[in-house]
Chain A
Amino acid sequence: MAKHHVTTTINGDPVEFLCEPEQTLLDVLRDELGLTGSKEGCASGDCGACSVMVDDRLVCSCLVLGVEVDESTVETIEGMADGDKLHPLQQKFLEEAALQCGICTPGFLIAARALLVKNPDPTETEVRYWLAGNLCRCTGYDKIIRSVLDVASEMKRA
């Protein structure tokens, strides 16, 4: 099948790639562009490990065809830290040990950042419902939820 030429911006950098129609955005990120921070848990939109931002919208990159991000802006976990300086959510996840195996972590971080942009002062219930599309099978959710709430309250004080 003919490959498609896609022009996009990923983590602030202009990126062009060729992809097959049946490659998802997640396939492209991981297999063509070497951005392996986004993970494949289920490939059916259930687990959120592949969460990325497309044109400022939080989506599952496993449910988006690579072709369909032509002329879009994509943000992945690789762009979350500012050089060596971790994003406050990344830092807090470390401090609170809000991860064990880490597979779900990039998705949780991207989703949590999207929440705080939209709603800087969420209730615990709002955090839990917002993160309903991200599954963790080992850490449990309490430390993750607490980390997000802590960052929100620190941001409010700052």
Chain B
Amino acid sequence: MHPFTLDRPRDLAAALALRAQAGRNDAPAEYIAGGTDMVQLLQEYVRQPERLVSLAGLLDNRIEIGPQGLRLGVAATMAEVAADPAVVEQFPLISEALLNSASPQVRNQATMGGNLLQRTRCPYFRDVGYAACNKRAPGSGCAAIGGENRWHAVLGTSDDCIATNPSDLAVALVALDAAVEIRGAGGSRSLPLVDFHRLPAATPHIETVLEPGEVIAAITVPASSAARRSHYLKVRDRASFEFAVVSAAVALEMDGARIRQARIALGGVGTKPWRVPRVEAALAGASLEPQSLRQAAALAAENAHGRGHNDFKIELMQRAIVRAVEIAGARA
């Protein structure tokens, strides 16, 4: 690791003020919470901040469920949320997505906020031996386009970046219309999680709409009957401790044997957690017949763009949607 100083502020206001002095992404000062991604990035010299501001103990870690829905304090760990009885019962999609992520060791340490802010697993981003990575070094190019890109995105890509967002949690939350509460030195704001991550366009190094110094304070998920009739399908190269090649988060409201409303988000295929509103619209009123599911799922591939090694994802993500809808639909 590149040497840095570490501040452990007494309260959140002090932390926000310290961090706000620096710039946006990859600034000379960075926050650290659970640290499971940050410490990896430090160990690999992907990030070399001069100062880290520790958020340990400064942020809410409560898990609260009420008539309005779920509120996750951002410092709650993946393990705590995944095992929370009310989450398991009322928002099983969230628990499933978390338990399909990482390892017990990492889930015990990693926080909700850090999960949403984890950086891409693109091997060219993670290995400073490759000079070209617009996300790590703006303007340096993209080694994945034209390189080994089996793991990369087919939706929301640009000529500057095709890296996927690796979070399973974010995919489940986006499907459930979650929002994030954001806090900064100047106050608080809230926005839909689907609008939180940015498309790479020409500035892939800026991954979220967070302003310098802002933190995520909480995640809120509205109550809905669909949240129970759900399924998180994760396709990956081995059965555990692996990121998604393709994933599909599906939550359904049924009207007898027909779908009243479907909410679907995809992982492993987009440069951000990817909601598919056109597929959802096509499924409204549809039966669970394979033919109609297949037709609806095909709409997810509109504007999909493979780069060679990852072309298979375009077909695979449609099949993942069909399978996940079938499984969720079969649930009581």
Please indicate whether A and B come from the same complex rather than being unrelated chains. yes
Chain A residues in the interface with B (C-beta under 8 A): 1-2, 4, 20-22, 24, 43-46, 48, 51, 57-60, 62-65, 67-68, 70, 111, 114-115, 128-130, 132-134
Q: Interface size for chain B: under 10, 10 to 19, 20 to 34, or 35 or more residues?
A: 20 to 34
Contact residues in A for B295 (Cβ distance below 8 Å) = none
Query: A-B contact count, CB below 8 Å?
Result: 87
Q: Which residue of B lies closest to A135 (CB)?
A: B241
Contact residues in A for B4 (Cβ distance below 8 Å) = 1, 21-22
* Contact indicator A67/B6 (Cβ below 8 Å): yes
A58 with B108, Cβ < 8 A, contacts A63-B35, A64-B35 known: yes
A59 with B105, Cβ < 8 A, contacts A22-B2, A22-B4, A43-B43 known: yes
Of the candidates B6, B39, B241, which one forms a contact with A24 in the assembled complex, judged by CB atoms under 8 Å apart? B39
* Contact indicator A22/B103 (Cβ below 8 Å): no
A63 with B241, Cβ < 8 A, contacts A4-B6, A21-B52, A22-B1 known: no
Contact residues in B for A132 (Cβ distance below 8 Å) = 103-104, 240-241
User: Could you pull out 28 A-B pairs where Cβ atoms are within 8 angstroms?
Assistant: A21-B3, A21-B5, A21-B52, A22-B4, A22-B42, A24-B43, A44-B40, A44-B43, A45-B105, A58-B104, A59-B108, A59-B109, A60-B106, A60-B109, A63-B40, A63-B106, A64-B39, A64-B109, A65-B32, A65-B35, A67-B8, A67-B54, A68-B35, A70-B8, A114-B104, A115-B104, A132-B241, A133-B105
* Contact indicator A63/B109 (Cβ below 8 Å): yes
Contact residues in A for B102 (Cβ distance below 8 Å) = 133
The distance in angstroms between the C-alpha atoms of A68 and B108, with both chains bound, is 15
* Contact indicator A68/B56 (Cβ below 8 Å): yes
Contact residues in A for B3 (Cβ distance below 8 Å) = 1, 20-22
Q: Which residue of A lies closest to B36 (CB)?
A: A63
Q: Which residue of A lies closest to B242 (CB)?
A: A132
